[in-house]
Amino acid sequence: VKLAKVDSDTLTLLEEAEGGFDQFTRSYKSYGVQRMPDNSLVFKEWAPAAEALFLTGDFNGWDNFSHPYTKKEFGKWELHIPPKEDKTPAVAHNSKLKVSRSGERLFRISPWAKYVTRHEKSVIYDWVHWDPPQPYIHKHPRPQKPRSLRIYESHVGIASPEGKVASYSNFTHNVLPRIKDLGYNCIQLMAIMEHAYYASFGYQVTSFFAASSRCGTPEELKELIDVAHSLGIIVLLDVVHSHASKNTEDGLNHFDGSDSCFFHSGPRGEHSLWDSRLFNYSGWEVLRFLLSNLRWWMEEYRFDGFRFDGVSSMLYHHHGIGSGFSGDYAEYFGLQVDEDSLVYLMLANHILHTLYEDCITIAEDVSGMPTLCCPIQGGGLGFDYRLAMAIPDKWIQILKEFKDEDWNMGNIVFTMTNRRYGEKCIAYAESHDQALVGDKTLAFWLMDKDMYTNMSTSIPMNSVIDRGIQLHKMIRLLTHSLGGEGYLNFMGNEFGHPEWLDFPRVGNNESYHYARRQFNLVDTDHLRYWQLYAFDRDMNRTEDKYGWLAAPPAYISVKHEGDKVIVFERANVIFIFNFHPTNSYSNYRVAVGPPGKYKIKLDSDGIQYGGHGRLDHNTEFFTEPMEFNNLPNSMLVSKLYYFLP
């Protein structure tokens, strides 16, 4: 509640000093470079420690001193450049610019730069003035917020079977149709904010307002989002406000020559594990920069919300380094909590949800901070969802450490359901974290080298592939139905992508071989990847029909350790899982809610999904309790209707 008061006080200050948060968060319309109605250009920066600023570039033949900024109050600098004699802007669209400080040869990029590019043989990025004569105009309205969130986590650069950086246009034309077909209604785009080091996966941001030029132009990204909207798919940006790259020449670091500016000075301003800089969230101009950054992506590109990266690092002075979280409330409400960061996140959520009714925000927090997804008025941080980060860790632990016969049904169910009531979670069996080199995807843990030689339907299925395919489906369905109020999948994992993810770097001879997604495997009819794809598609489509993600938590009736059976009911749907490695069961009795008629709607043992087809899908069950003959690995039974008592 005290933090809610601080948040309210900050909003009051914004009203008094800036005319309210609406105007404050539109500062991208006054900072950086702006073209006026008469085609004059106004350049504005905040550099409190600088003694002088100069603009140079193609427009003035790279003269270092011909265009000085004028110093204003509060560390701000401005430069006005009139139009040329023919009334066109003095700085043309697509021309290069740099900012320099007095007496230094170091050229800088404006923190507000909207587009930056790098020449193929260069290490440093260039600030490119982006002011196209025919900017992209969005044609389609934002879709309404989905009742059930099914997220396809995506990286545009790897979204192609080819060994290269894939484009926004490739994603628009070749990947969006797949996402629509699979039944996902939300895309979470990674690595959009410009980052100089490709292998950082987009988490070492250098230019916060610039969409990554590796994949194309800003207009092509806008088209991608617009086409997604036309398909009824919302798009979230993986936003990185938890830290920034240490780069100086093409990053924020030392922009005004000081150790602080946007960051804390000294040790508080550095993340020792990430080798990056940490924002000073109490700084007025830092708030202007970050909150305007959120507004920019919502307004200019029409994103529908954000997945906030690294929230655990933001929440604590120790950034989670060397700290385990047992769930004791003293770990969350002590002096180790960074209140400046908390207030920033509250401000961000308050402003976003006030301005955009259907905006969605997701927190990546591994610590389990209470109230993260509670209303700000009650002292919460105001996120809509949090990532259920314990679930993928549990699946990896089980596959690495336990034999099939030793799986603990109660422990699995506990992990799936261990969340605070009223705080919505995004469940996932694996995300990009599990796909990275040094780890393995679930498909690779399950099937390993056999994926290279035994995935053809033209040869008999061996025991490794049989087990792997069945467990791959069951793990996903159990996570999808029991683990949260939303579901996430990383691109390619829906069909069991056979290899890890590794970006070009010195250690792999700058190879793109593992920085791609082999969608061609799904398109090859005789490979079993298609069967996993089909199950993932039908799982999402079934959820879309019955809406279990939007339903209250499941009622669990069976966690049988001997039989290795889990049974629960959610959204008037009965889920039955048999995880026993060898046993099938005849006349298996299952408790249900109201009596009525039940029919099998999704069966992971279906032949079309690489199963053995042991169930008759035309069978209708009238009894209570139900009796299933020859219970296979997993299936989903939906109530068509039921009789009132």
For residues 563 and 207, the answer to whether their CB atoms sit within 8 Å is no
Residue 23 makes CB contacts below 8 A (sequence gap 6+) with none
340 is catalytic: no
Let me know the angle formed at the C-alpha of 490 by 362 and 235, rounded to the nearest 5 degrees.
Answer: 50
Is 244 domain-assigned? no
Indicate if 192 and 115 belong to the same structural domain: no
Q: What is the CATH number of the domain that holds 73?
A: 2.60.40.10
The domain in which residue 629 lies consists of: 555-637
pLDDT at 643: 39
Indicate if 33 and 117 belong to the same structural domain: yes
Indicate if 115 and 157 belong to the same structural domain: no
**What span, in angstroms and rounded, lies between the C-alpha atoms of 532 and 541?**
14
Indicate if 175 and 233 belong to the same structural domain: yes
Is 262 domain-assigned? no
Q: Which residue has the higher pLDDT, 631 or 157?
A: 157
Is 530 domain-assigned? no
| CA-closest candidate to residue 462, choices 450, 475, 444 | 450
Q: Which two tokens stand for residue 253?
A: 């670091």
For residues 384 and 360, the answer to whether their CB atoms sit within 8 Å is yes
Residue type, 168: Y
Is 224 domain-assigned? yes
Is 183 domain-assigned? yes
For residues 549 and 543, the answer to whether their CB atoms sit within 8 Å is yes
Chain segment 396-424, per-residue pLDDT in tens: 999 999 999 999 999 999 999 999 999 99
309 is catalytic: yes
pLDDT at 639: 53
Number of structural domains found in the chain: 3
183-212 burial, b for 16+ CB within 10 Å, e for fewer? bbbbbbbbbbbbbbebbbbbbbbbbbbbbb
> Over 60: is that where the pLDDT of 645 sits?
no
Indicate if 122 and 48 belong to the same structural domain: yes
**What span, in angstroms and rounded, lies between the C-alpha atoms of 494 and 326?**
32
Lowest mean pLDDT across 81-90, 215-224, 377-386, 580-589: 580-589
Indicate if 124 and 33 belong to the same structural domain: yes
Residue 593 makes CB contacts below 8 A (sequence gap 6+) with 555, 569, 572, 642
Catalytic residue, candidates 7, 131, 364, 485: 364
Indicate if 124 and 168 belong to the same structural domain: no
Indicate if 156 and 117 belong to the same structural domain: no
623 confidence band (pLDDT: 50, 70, 90): low
pLDDT at 593: 80
Is 151 domain-assigned? yes
Indicate if 182 and 121 belong to the same structural domain: no
pLDDT at 628: 66
Indicate if 28 and 117 belong to the same structural domain: yes
Given 74, 103, 129, which residue is the final one in a domain?
Answer: 129
641 confidence band (pLDDT: 50, 70, 90): very low
What are the E-state strand segments in 116-264?
116-117, 126-128, 149-155, 186-190, 193-194, 207-211, 234-239
Indicate if 99 and 36 belong to the same structural domain: yes
CA distances to 142, 240, 360 from 352, in Å: 15, 16, 9
Q: Which two tokens stand for residue 156?
A: 């545009």
pLDDT at 437: 74
- State the average pLDDT over residues 280-309: 98
For residues 115 and 105, the answer to whether their CB atoms sit within 8 Å is no
Q: Which two tokens stand for residue 374?
A: 């509670």
pLDDT at 542: 96
Given 71, 103, 129, which residue is the final one in a domain?
Answer: 129
Chain segment 230-271, per-residue pLDDT in tens: 999 999 999 999 999 999 999 999 999 999 999 999 999 999
637 confidence band (pLDDT: 50, 70, 90): low
**What span, in angstroms and rounded, lies between the C-alpha atoms of 327 and 340?**
22
Catalytic residue, candidates 238, 300, 309, 338: 309
Q: What is the CATH number of the domain that holds 168?
A: 3.30.750.90
2 confidence band (pLDDT: 50, 70, 90): low
Residue 539: what are its φ and ψ, rounded to 5°? Answer: -65, -45
Indicate if 45 and 122 belong to the same structural domain: yes
Given 189, 221, 238, which residue is the final one in a domain?
Answer: 238
Q: What is the CATH number of the domain that holds 562?
A: 2.60.40.1180
**What span, in angstroms and rounded, lies between the C-alpha atoms of 19 and 509?**
53
